[in-house]
Structure 1
Amino acid sequence: MSGQSAAAAASNGITPLQQMVASCSGAILTSLFVTPLDVVKIRLQAQKNPFPKGKCFVYCNGLMDHICVCENGNSKAWYKAPSHFNGTLDAFVKIVRHEGVKALWSGLPPTLVMAVPATVIYFTCYDQLCAALRVRMGDFSQEAPLLAGALARVGSATVISPLELIRTKLQSQKQSYRELTDCIRSAVQSEGWLSLWRGLGPTLFRDVPFSAMYWYNYEKGKGWLCERYNTRQPTFTITFISGAVSGSIASIVTLPFDVVKTRRQLELGELQAKNLSGQVSSSTFSVMSRIVAQSGFGGLFAGFLPRLIKVAPACAVMITTYEFGKAFFREHNQERILRPLQSSDT
């Protein structure tokens, strides 16, 4: 057996590179599917509350969040409404009619630059960790997805956090790469390397519990549905339903941390836009206390329905594409192993 075949057999029939290709395909497809929903949401949001210069809004495509800084009020084309929108469907129709279909994917570039690599790291790490933990955890192997999901999210969020900070600075201040390098070097010298991971805490507070619950419920749901419908391999429907339900449960439970994270992201983005990045915004629990004081406990669950509408299909599309990609490569690897054996028997 070749080295590649051995590696494939050791990792549930596919290699880490094949896992990366499968997750990359899933991330691209999810971005293409969810981006128009968020472009429309931001247009409607800008219509109700125009964004003044220097303010930020968070653009989220179902895979990750991006902080967008307004430079000249509402003059930026991809969130300036050309006419009055009377609702979501009306916004879709008018954007396509006045600006063309491409306008619905105007927020796609930052996704492809950052969210796709982050998703590839996350899903590949999860599969590798889960396979290793199932072996080592013995009687507790059913809890492996919980731990693997949490660890994989910590890894991917930590890797991508400095890139998010750099991207926000580029977007808010329109610096050249040389100016940006000098800015980062001076920040590191004055505040240390940890300054590149500013804002990571709130991200982990939301994303790590979400990831742990998502993978645990997904694996449990998938196993239960396979058993119920008496099938060894999960079908498209089983995978889609498991992904949507587990994503919905995790998003509801972690919504308060999402609200806090969004608030802190906006604060940090606006501080950076005003060249005040040295000032650190409030801690996670301070922000949470402030929200409760201002809006009551209901304030921690603001945006419940929009988040659910976006996260459930995004999780379903991502995991279904990923599982389909893995099944394709698994079958391809099995054929490669069997072909020489069949030819030697004849």
Structure 2
Amino acid sequence: MSDPKPLPFVYQFLSGAIAGVSEILVMYPLDVVKTRIQLQVGSGANAEYTGIVDCVTKIVKNEGFSRLYRGISAPILMEAPKRATKFAANDEWGKFYRNAFGVQSMTQSLAVLTGATAGATESFVVVPFELVKIRLQDKSSKYSGMGDVVKQIVKKEGVLSLYNGLEATLWRHIWWNAGYFGVIFQVRSLLPKTESSTQKTANDLLSGAIGGTVGTILNTPFDVVKSRIQNTVKVPGVVPKYNWTLPSLLLVTKEEGFSALYKGFLPKVLRLGPGGGILLVVFTTCMDFFRTLQ
């Protein structure tokens, strides 16, 4: 497989931004459901939400339909730089590694390495937005909006607390992007060569959905503890229950069982599986369009 014609960074950034906003507008309610389920400590009969349908029903009934879009302002503002950084960093790191290792085209191992590095790069952009989103999505949230979250965090916890959960976010994004881009490369290589734009779109949708599913399987435990860490209000002199990733993984497993590390997996994979396909289709479509302008 030959690599497509490279484009300047600005086109990669714009394509990633458009892809990210498109995905969030379609799939956001599932993200709210995922966060609610991840934040609840009980399980089984003691759980407030027993599944996706139950969670959506209770949110709409008790809090109103608009609550399914609670906190979307932060993701909307985040999605452009987040997804733009994801795809642009993946392309730029891919160029760097190909030059560094002296290879002409991408390989399976380079696709995984490039994805992991792009995920780490992306993490530094998204942490404050993720923190605001988690605080707004929590059922007990008393914040009036995105600005109020930032104001209260800075006032009560300090400016650096806007990066609370950075370590967990790094783990989450490294694993997701390594799985996502690594699987996309492998699936694309196995699919028949496309003869039309319709076939190309179908291939991108399939490979992106599979990549998103694998990435979600790999990173969900880190996402669970990230949500717990970021929803914890830091109090001076008090060590948070959830503070660092690996100890938090062990703590959740000890107190709630291994399956608790996959709380919210179904709504997450329903979002990021198809969402991964949407991301790839929109991104590649935009990139193809920009190539016609060159």
Bin the TM-score by the shorter chain: 0.7 to 0.9
- Write the mapping of 1:225-236 to structure 2, written as runs, cut at 5 A: 225=191, 228-229=192-193, 231=195, 235-236=200-201
Q: CA deviation at 1:289?
A: 1.7
Q: CA deviation at 1:235?
A: 0.3
Q: CA deviation at 1:315?
A: 0.8
1:293 aligns to what SS in structure 2? helix
* Residues 44-72 of structure 1 deviation map (CA, whole Å, 9 limit, x = unaligned): x69xxxxxxxxx959xxxxxxxxxxxxxx
Q: 1:215 to 1:311 in 2, by over 3 A?
A: same
Q: 1:167 to 1:238 in 2, by over 3 A?
A: closer
Aligned counterpart in structure 2 of residue 222 of structure 1, from 164, 182, 188 = 188
The answer to whether the aligner puts 1:27 opposite 2:27 as a matched pair is: no
- Write the mapping of 1:88-107 to structure 2, written as runs, cut at 5 A: 91=57, 105-107=69-71
Aligned counterpart in structure 1 of residue 213 of structure 2, from 235, 239, 248 = 248
Letter in 2 for 1:259: V
Q: CA deviation at 1:205?
A: 1.5
Aligned counterpart in structure 2 of residue 329 of structure 1, from 259, 266, 290 = 290
Letter in 2 for 1:311: L
Give the whole-Å Cα distance in 2 for the aligned partners of 1:177 and 1:292.
30
Show the counterpart of 1:300: 261
The answer to whether the aligner puts 1:309 opposite 2:275 as a matched pair is: no
Q: CA deviation at 1:187?
A: 3.5
The answer to whether the aligner puts 1:151 opposite 2:120 as a matched pair is: no
Letter in 2 for 1:294: E
User: Does structure 2 retain, via aligned residues, the 8 Å contact 1:27–1:116?
Assistant: yes
Show the counterpart of 2:173: 207
Give the whole-Å Cα distance in 1 for the aligned partners of 2:124 and 2:16.
19
- Write the mapping of 1:134-283 to structure 2, written as runs, cut at 5 A: 134-138=98-102, 141-142=106-107, 143-162=109-128, 164=130, 183=155, 187=158, 196-225=162-191, 228-229=192-193, 231=195, 235-266=200-231, 268=232, 271-272=233-234, 279-280=239-240, 281-283=242-244
**Uncovered stretches (5+) of structure 2, i.e. residues with no partner:** 41-51
User: Does structure 1 retain, via aligned residues, the 8 Å contact 2:15–2:286?
Assistant: yes
Give the whole-Å Cα distance in 2 for the aligned partners of 1:187 and 1:106.
24
Q: CA deviation at 1:245?
A: 0.5
Q: 1:11 to 1:181 in 2, by over 3 A?
A: farther
Show the counterpart of 1:12: 5
Show the counterpart of 1:318: 279
Give the whole-Å Cα distance in 2 for the aligned partners of 1:108 and 1:182.
21
User: Does structure 2 retain, via aligned residues, the 8 Å contact 1:35–1:107?
Assistant: no
Give the whole-Å Cα distance in 1 for the aligned partners of 2:54 and 2:153.
41
User: Does structure 2 retain, via aligned residues, the 8 Å contact 1:217–1:246?
Assistant: yes
User: Does structure 2 retain, via aligned residues, the 8 Å contact 1:137–1:144?
Assistant: no
Q: 1:286 to 1:11 in 2, by over 3 A?
A: same
Give the whole-Å Cα distance in 1 for the aligned partners of 2:150 and 2:83.
28
Give the whole-Å Cα distance in 1 for the aligned partners of 2:236 and 2:118.
32
Q: Cα RMSD between the aligned structures? A: 4.1
Mean Cα deviation higher: 308-317 or 147-156? 147-156
The answer to whether the aligner puts 1:118 opposite 2:86 as a matched pair is: no
* Residues 162-187 of structure 1 deviation map (CA, whole Å, 9 limit, x = unaligned): 45557778986667799679749x94
Show the counterpart of 1:36: 29
* Residues 175-218 of structure 1 deviation map (CA, whole Å, 9 limit, x = unaligned): 7799679749x946xxxx6x553311111112111111211111
1:14 aligns to what SS in structure 2? coil
User: Does structure 2 retain, via aligned residues, the 8 Å contact 1:213–1:250?
Assistant: yes
User: Does structure 1 retain, via aligned residues, the 8 Å contact 2:34–2:264?
Assistant: no
Show the counterpart of 1:131: 95
Q: 1:42 to 1:257 in 2, by over 3 A?
A: closer
Q: CA deviation at 1:324?
A: 0.7
The answer to whether the aligner puts 1:291 opposite 2:248 as a matched pair is: no
Give the whole-Å Cα distance in 2 for the aligned partners of 1:306 and 1:169.
19
State the structure with more CA Rg: 1
User: Does structure 1 retain, via aligned residues, the 8 Å contact 2:134–2:227?
Assistant: no
Q: Percent identity?
A: 22
